[in-house]
Amino acid sequence: MFADIVVDIAAGELDKVFQYRVPEALESEISAGMRVIIPFGRGNKRTEGYVIGLTAVPSYPEEKIKDIEQIINDGITAEQQLITLAANIKTVYGSTMAAALKTVIPVKKQVRAVERKTYHLNIPKEEAEELLEKLKKDRRRTSGAVLLQALLCQESLSRTAVIQNLGVSPSVLKNLLDRHVIAEETCRVYRKPVRIQNEETAKKMLNAGQQAAVDGILAAPGEVHLLHGITGSGKTEVYMALVEQTLAKGQQVIVLIPEISLTLQTVSRFYQLFGDRVSVMNSRLSAGERYDQYMRAKEGDVDIIVGPRSALFMPFERLGMIIIDEEHDGAYKSETTPKYHAREVAIWRSKLCGATVVLGSATPSVAVYHKALTGVYHLHRLTVRAAADSVLPKVHVIDLREEFKLKNKKIFSEQLTEMIHERLAKKEQVMLFLNRRGYAGFVSCRNCGYVVKCRHCDVSLTAHYDGRMKCHYCGYEQPAVKVCPVCGSKYIAAFGTGTQKVETMVSQNFPGAKVLRLDRDTTTKKDSIDEILSDFKNGDADILVGTQMIVKGHDFPKVTLVGVLAADLSMFSGDYLAAERTFQLLVQAAGRAGRGSLPGDVVIQTYQPDNYSIVCAAHQDYEAFYRQEIAYREMMHYPPFYHMLAVLGESSRMPELDQAMAAVGKMAEVLLPESEVVGPASAFVSRAKDAYRKVIYIKSRTMRPLIQLIAGIDQAVKNDRIFNKVYIQFDMDPVSMY
């Protein structure tokens, strides 16, 4: 027997399959997906590799084939389906096979098992009762009697129970063991990262809309479904009903969430219904916890896994459903090579095993909604809030240009200030949201709202530290402007306020209010996100200030006011998804208000009250937003009408980089005569870690030619000296621009 093996070395030129002989002794044991030790290269260095296939006939002269040395037996393997998935990821997203395999294996190394010792009787019951009577008469041996008595009532006892609870000394225990009166057993216990008090909440009766969605999804198993439900419409309840039905069929479920910070909230709700059958998988777990969850999934000890995108690769054998909550979230796209999109890969995985895919969102991504409308996916809608008395909040849009004219230079408008005071007086809670992620230093006029844009592209220029303004789409640049070209005001500058500054301003403007802040800086510690969120939920603070981390999916019934400080910040991130992202963030932020029985208000502060993503968000009108956005996408040849491939080149040497990127551009034009090629241009971060960065975008109606282009460039990178000093990366259908 022969094995095809991918060598576990990151270097690109080794991205090749090597054949090895399987020694007879290993034949019965080996299977695809296992990791093995092989002699590799001239020096026969012991190297780790993945078996990706087995065959009876060698494809090389037999005498040239070396033997596999040993199998690594630690339980970490990739099943055939996951190998297929890795191969697809490699082809579509452009990476080495080894990197793709590492992606689909969510644990890296074996971690020693936690063991627990238990004790049980080793003699017949009657004999034990006789012995007990004897021991009872001997006053020096009462503790042995206590243990026997306990083991006569209870089949087995843990070591802690024996020593701590019963107070039996280790020497008495040893004595009874040595006399074979009792016996010891060692068993493996899994680390269980879910520690939740089971608060009893009554299971909810689904409303008509929820029931229709559940029925509709179950009626088309193995297909892709979009659950489009407004914020607070009870999507989680729908997921739970679906999970219940899937488990009843003996199948397993993966639930993806966009942010680790949502883990506790999501898992608690599932835990109430499914108890220990639920577990989590994410990077905050210890290596031991991760390994154990992987083994539990493999051995069928859990049926539901909740986690961010990497949880997609849990080794469930009977996977029946993949649920992707907040489907539109950019966090589902990997930032490192292979830059796969968990939603797309989930759909591939479902096709391999027949699982149903459920995508849930209040603000579906435009590309997904397009597929739902054109019948590629099924569409189910939830149009009302589920909780009794809960209605969508009232939205107020504040024009910051007017505030500025009224000489209000604070970051809180008059109306927002007034409403915050009102809430504080009524002891209700407030969330203040700063859309900082989109902050890329776009330059705007505080008097008229004018935004400096590129001459050649419909994107804003961004201010750089060197004082110039650049288009990171086409490479155009110009000196910074000092006065507004429209109104002549000199208050034109890069916009930027951090959450920390907001926190300080809240304390100054609302003395006495208790403030909590949630952003990347405050949540570096292991449990701090959960702490901050639960403190706020328990009413330990009046105001929560934060970035988009606070708008995603959280359910705080006492929040009756949400303030969005500068809604425009995400609009000028300079890419085609900017409007979609702004709309989504605003609707999600607004969705945090008035989720309990108290009605809610939302204040959106903006320099562009007429922009369609803001107008539509204010009306919570997804359809209207979609109609405008899809027309723009079609006109501009953006996804979902075109696929887009970004090729990013990095090098410490500019001339080599220029040459290589020019060659990439040439190849694109030759191989894809129908396509549109933009660039090469300097990336937004034009130099990182001493390397220059350039990017080319190629748009094509279908994906196939782009995949061929990736393969072609890969080939050239291996063979052409032009690429010697250049590191090339691919990003298929990027969700942010370079």
Residues 6 or more apart in contact with residue 117 via CB below 8 angstroms: 158, 159, 184, 185, 186
Q: Which residues of 209-232 are buried (b: 16+ CB within 10 A; e: fewer)?
A: bbeebbeebbeeeebbbbbbbbbb
Provide the 10 A C-beta neighbour count for residue 673. 8
Q: How far apart are CA 188 and CA 184, in angstroms?
A: 13
Q: Quick one: 561 or 678, whose CB is closer to Zn ion?
A: 678
Q: Which of 229, 308, 315, 364 binds ligand ADP (CB under 6 A)?
A: 229
Taking the complex as a whole, the smallest distance from the CB of residue 229 to ligand ADP amounts, in Å, to: 5
Q: Which of 88, 233, 361, 573 binds ligand ADP (CB under 6 A)?
A: 233
Told to check if 235 binds ligand ADP by CB under 6 A, we report yes
Told to check if 206 binds ligand ADP by CB under 6 A, we report yes
Q: Answer yes or no: are the C-beta atoms of 663 and 712 closer than 8 Å.
A: no
Q: Which does 229 bind (CB under 5 to 8 A by kind): ligand ADP, Zn ion, none?
A: ligand ADP
SS (H, E, C) 57-112: CCCCCHHHCEECCEEECCCCCCCHHHHHHHHHHHHHHCCCHHHHHHHHCCCCCCCC
Q: How far apart are CA 24 and CA 338, in angstroms?
A: 36
Taking the complex as a whole, the smallest distance from the CB of residue 608 to Zn ion amounts, in Å, to: 13
Stretch that binds ligand ADP, among 183-191, 200-208, 373-381, 698-706 (CB under 6 A): 200-208
Residues 6 or more apart in contact with residue 661 via CB below 8 angstroms: 647, 649, 679, 680, 694, 696, 726
Binding mask 331-370 toward ligand ADP (x if CB under 6 A, else -) reads ----------------------------------------
Q: Quick one: 541 or 646, whose CB is closer to Zn ion?
A: 646
Q: Which residues of 433-450 are buried (b: 16+ CB within 10 A; e: fewer)?
A: bbbbbbbbbbbbbbbbbb
Tell me if residue 709 falls in helix, strand or coil.
helix
Query: Which tokens is 698 given?
Result: 């190629």
Q: Quick one: 204 or 381, whose CB is closer to ligand ADP?
A: 204
Q: Quick one: 56 or 388, whose CB is closer to ligand ADP?
A: 388
The continuous run of DSSP H or E covering 445 comes out as strand 443-445
Taking the complex as a whole, the smallest distance from the CB of residue 147 to ligand ADP amounts, in Å, to: 48
Q: Quick one: 223 or 325, whose CB is closer to ligand ADP?
A: 325
Residues between 370 and 389 with contacts to ligand ADP, criterion CB under 6 A: 386-387
Told to check if 236 binds ligand ADP by CB under 6 A, we report yes
Q: Quick one: 378 or 595, whose CB is closer to ligand ADP?
A: 595
Q: Which residues of 721-738 are buried (b: 16+ CB within 10 A; e: fewer)?
A: ebbeebbbbbbbbbbbbb
Q: Quick one: 95 or 444, whose CB is closer to Zn ion?
A: 444
Taking the complex as a whole, the smallest distance from the CB of residue 234 to ligand ADP amounts, in Å, to: 3
Q: Which does 487 bind (CB under 5 to 8 A by kind): ligand ADP, Zn ion, none?
A: Zn ion
Binding mask 461-490 toward Zn ion (x if CB under 5 A, else -) reads ----------x-xx-x-------x-xx-x-
Q: Which does 425 bind (CB under 5 to 8 A by kind): Zn ion, ligand ADP, none?
A: none
Taking the complex as a whole, the smallest distance from the CB of residue 387 to ligand ADP amounts, in Å, to: 4
Q: How far apart are CA 35 and CA 83, in angstroms?
A: 12
Binding mask 544-573 toward ligand ADP (x if CB under 6 A, else -) reads -----------x------------------
Angle (CA) 567-572-578 rounded to 5° is 80
Q: Quick one: 35 or 235, whose CB is closer to ligand ADP?
A: 235
Any long-range contacts for 44-50 (C-beta under 8 Å, 24+ apart)? 47/7, 47/8, 47/9, 48/7, 48/8, 48/72, 49/5, 49/6, 49/7, 49/8, 49/18, 50/5, 50/6, 50/8, 50/78, 50/98, 50/101
Taking the complex as a whole, the smallest distance from the CB of residue 621 to ligand ADP amounts, in Å, to: 17
Whether omega for the bond prior to residue 640 falls within 30 degrees of 0, making it cis, is: yes
Q: Which does 555 bind (CB under 5 to 8 A by kind): ligand ADP, Zn ion, none?
A: ligand ADP
Q: How far apart are CA 317 and CA 302, in angstroms?
A: 11
Tell me if residue 37 falls in helix, strand or coil.
strand
Tell me the backbone φ, ψ of residue 229, rounded to 5 degrees: -130, 135
Told to check if 231 binds ligand ADP by CB under 6 A, we report yes
The continuous run of DSSP H or E covering 39 comes out as strand 35-40
Q: Which does 611 bind (CB under 5 to 8 A by kind): Zn ion, ligand ADP, none?
A: none
Told to check if 261 binds ligand ADP by CB under 6 A, we report no
Told to check if 204 binds ligand ADP by CB under 6 A, we report yes
Q: Quick one: 47 or 210, whose CB is closer to ligand ADP?
A: 210
Stretch that binds ligand ADP, among 169-177, 235-243, 450-458, 708-716 (CB under 6 A): 235-243
Stretch that binds ligand ADP, among 65-73, 205-213, 406-414, 685-693 (CB under 6 A): 205-213
Binding site for ligand ADP (CB under 6 A): 204-207, 210, 229, 231-237, 386-387, 555
Binding site residues, Zn ion, CB under 5 A: 445, 447-448, 450, 454, 456-457, 471, 473-474, 476, 484, 486-487, 489
